[in-house]
Amino acid sequence: MNERWDGAYIARSVVDRGMSAWSTNAEEVNRTLPRLAGEVEKNLAAAPWGAGAEGDAFRQAHLRDGGPVEMINQCKRLGEQIVDAGDRLRQAIDNTRQTDADIDHDLTRLTREV
């Protein structure tokens, strides 16, 4: 069944498949990201660069401007945004469909009253 939306027809099945794919990917990000971040954090805590002057220079360069810790924090924020965007989009779609249904109902009722 196609529904009107701003002069365009949108196939509900296509929207549902797209939202399902978005949710699946968001779940994968939520499931995988903590494990991957934990591995990076564990490796950083092991300080594999050593204690000498060369190791210290590498550590300073590697961790400059937040280094991999900043990358992990940005990935976590991005993961949250991916989930949130999907939730907000689903709500917007549901609201739009409900508004369209309400308008159709009102128009049908008005037509019968005339």
| Residues constituting the chain | 114
The predicted structure's pLDDT at residue 102: 87
User: Over the stretch 32-51, which tens digit does the pLDDT of each residue have?
Assistant: 999 999 999 999 999 999 88
The residue extents of the domains of the chain are: 2-113
> For residue 51, what are the CA distances in angstroms to 13, 46, 55, 56, 86?
59, 12, 6, 6, 46
If pLDDT is split at 50, 70 and 90, which confidence band does 81 have? very high
